[in-house]
């Protein structure tokens, strides 16, 4: 089901699609591919929205930088020095995060209106990113398909093709609060990640893959997330053809449980320490499935290159449930 959600200053209409199945209700906007809300029950059967969002379009237009619920690209996360070299050609990008390019530049995929078509139990968003958009080479045809499966899990499947060599790295930037408005304090996180990518002062990976043992980055056993994280974790499974479980977030108070499965090799944990008004810092936790930051400048990282004739595919599943008691 779709409805008009708002209108941009140029008269372009933005629509909201509502997906509902097995006790889960998800609302997706054609503006930025934004997941506006995800409503699921707690252990007592009380339903609440577990992602941060705005009630109206003006909120997203006035506060774009948190990327609330957005589909970010062409390149999710940071590219160091706002440039990369591909096939001997250096490509300058917009430096919209200090000296770096972040989430696709000044006007990335999160600030574009996507075309929408219904699919079984969901909606498929499409757009064409022209050659040179935000400095990225190649005409890129992109789709993101949002569906709810029989259990009420939200599945986001991305595909892209290009007519020239380029780089692609897409993700969803939802901030989770499984308490449904109480904040994620006390949320417990488990990650299937034995390593992470340390960063410099500008949050660009140093190139090392550091072992998490004995450090605050060790979430292999579930524990309180806390704060102070904006880091990429190296998932033990690597790149896979189908989604594999890599993360679990649990709110002991409500009992709500989020399990994430993905085809991606990395996951960015951002505890929203710098989340600005109208939200308070640490009001949600972003868990962004991805290839590693700055991969176009790190040939030893899993490649984000896409060439003509190839197909970029990425898929992430967000499954919701409840735990009656504490962590198993």
Catalytic residue status for 15? no
Q: Which of 133, 188, 264, 288 is catalytic?
A: 288
Q: Are strands 266-270 and 285-290 parallel, antiparallel or unpaired?
A: antiparallel
Q: Which of 103, 173, 187, 250 is catalytic?
A: 173
The pLDDT tens digits of the residues spanning 80-138 come to 999 999 999 999 999 999 999 999 999 999 999 999 999 999 999 999 999 999 999 99
Q: Are 237 and 289 in contact (CB under 8 A)?
A: no
Q: What is the pLDDT of residue 328?
A: 45
Using alpha carbons, select from 229, 251, 274, 269 the residue that is nearest to residue 182: 251
Give dist(CA 94, CA 194) in Å, integer.
33
Catalytic residue status for 103? no
> Residue 184: left (phi > 0), alpha (psi -120 to 50), or beta?
alpha
pLDDT along the chain (328 residues), means of 10: 97 98 98 98 97 97 96 98 98 97 98 98 98 98 98 98 98 98 95 98 97 98 97 98 98 98 98 92 97 98 98 98 73
State if pTM tops 0.85.
yes
Tell me the torsion sign for CA atoms 327, 317, 195, 76.
negative
Half-sphere exposure (Cβ direction) of 59: Cα atoms closer than 13 Å: 17
């Amino acid at each position: 089901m779709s409805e008009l959600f708002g209108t941009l200053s140029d008269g372009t209409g933005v629509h909201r699609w509502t997906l509902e199945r097995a006790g889960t209700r998800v609302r997706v906007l054609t503006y930025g591919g934004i997941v506006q809300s995800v409503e699921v029950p707690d252990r007592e059967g009380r339903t609440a929205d577990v992602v941060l969002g705005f009630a109206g379009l003006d909120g997203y237009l006035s506060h774009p930088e948190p990327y609330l619920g957005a589909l970010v690209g062409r390149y999710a996360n940071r590219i160091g020095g706002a440039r990369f070299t591909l096939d001997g050609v250096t490509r300058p990008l917009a430096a919209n995060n200090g000296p770096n390019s972040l989430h696709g530049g000044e006007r990335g995929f999160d600030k574009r209106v996507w075309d929408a078509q219904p699919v079984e139990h969901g909606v498929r968003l499409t757009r064409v990113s022209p050659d040179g958009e935000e400095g990225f080479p190649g005409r890129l045809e992109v789709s993101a398909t949002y569906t709810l499966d029989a259990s009420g899990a939200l599945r986001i499947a991305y595909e892209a093709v290009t007519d020239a060599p380029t780089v692609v790295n897409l993700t969803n930037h939802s901030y989770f609060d499984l308490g449904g408005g109480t904040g994620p304090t006390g949320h417990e996180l488990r990650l299937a990640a034995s390593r992470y990518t340390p960063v410099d002062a500008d949050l660009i990976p140093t190139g090392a893959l550091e072992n998490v043992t004995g450090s605050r980055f060790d979430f292999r056993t579930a524990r309180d997330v806390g704060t102070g994280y904006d880091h990429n974790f190296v998932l033990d499974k690597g790149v896979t053809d189908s989604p594999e479980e890599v993360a679990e977030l649990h709110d002991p108070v409500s009992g709500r449980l989020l399990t994430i499965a993905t085809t991606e090799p990395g996951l960015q944990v951002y505890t929203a320490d710098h989340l600005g008004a109208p939200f308070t810092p640490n009001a949600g936790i972003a868990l962004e499935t991805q290839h590693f930051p700055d991969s176009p400048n790190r040939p030893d990282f899993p490649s984000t290159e896409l060439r003509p004739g190839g197909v970029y595919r990425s898929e992430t599943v967000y499954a919701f449930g409840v735990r009656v008691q504490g962590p198993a």
